[in-house]
Structure 1
């Protein structure tokens, strides 16, 4: 399947996957103060789970663009993409598409020549 035959949503999804898998290279990566306050071990594990995230559902990905997800800390101190009954902490990640100057939303998020992606990682409590 070529880029010409992919749907617009699938082109955006693939670009978003690349942004997650190459944070800081294929996108601008930012983290909130709350996320940065986590331990180095926790931040590393969460970033790993963001990079490999595949728990997309109709609830968190209604447009099929793979631009949002949640990571949970369970009661035993393990980070997971599966929501536990009572998460000890929740981290959100979100990808937004901007113009090349990061001034406005992109006119065409499916076109990497006119779009820069920004991936933000934050504690859910900061939302």
Structure 2
């Protein structure tokens, strides 16, 4: 399995479960309310999230539509101290995935 393919698998698992990283929502997303945030998280974990990733990439960026709003998301790879990039994003022992979810107008 190539590094890109391994990151695809790890990113898809993280996006769907939140395991192995940190999920951050922007203030704009937060202000949409708990029910909408829950809907966003459910869609990211489901078919809408699967369809939003770039084909052939690492599945680390995308956007979905929720209640006629475009929600952008991106996964970055940090070291375990969250103070620098991960030395090896394909190694969960060295990497904390960080999912940022924001309104497209906040990007």
TM over 0.5: yes
* CA radius of gyration, larger in: 1
**Aligned residue for 1:30?**
24
Structure with more contact order per residue of length (Cα contacts < 8 Å, sep ≥ 6): 2
Structure 1: which 5+ residue stretches go unaligned?
A: 1-5, 78-87
Cα shift readout 1:55-75 (whole Å, capped 9, x = no counterpart): 14xxx52652101111113xx
Does 2:75 match 1:101? no
Given that 2:20 and 2:92 are in contact with CA atoms closer than 8 Å, whether structure 1 keeps it comes out as no
User: Cα offset for 1:95?
Assistant: 0.5
Equivalent pairs, count: 105
User: Cα offset for 1:39?
Assistant: 2.5
**Aligned residue for 1:54?**
50
If each structure's helix is expressed as a fraction of its own residues, which one has the higher value?
Answer: 2
Cα shift readout 1:17-38 (whole Å, capped 9, x = no counterpart): 1111112x32111111000001
**Aligned residue for 1:11?**
6
Q: Structure 1 stretches (4+) deviating beyond 3 angstroms?
A: none
Cα shift readout 1:61-120 (whole Å, capped 9, x = no counterpart): 2652101111113xxx4xxxxxxxxxx311111110011110111111111111110011
Structure 2: which 5+ residue stretches go unaligned?
A: none
**Aligned residue for 1:44?**
38
* TM-score, length-scaled by structure 2: 0.89
Cα RMSD over matched residues? 1.5
* TM-score, length-scaled by structure 1: 0.76
Q: Distance in 1 between matches of 2:27 and 2:40?
A: 15
Q: Distance in 2 between matches of 1:19 and 1:42?
A: 20
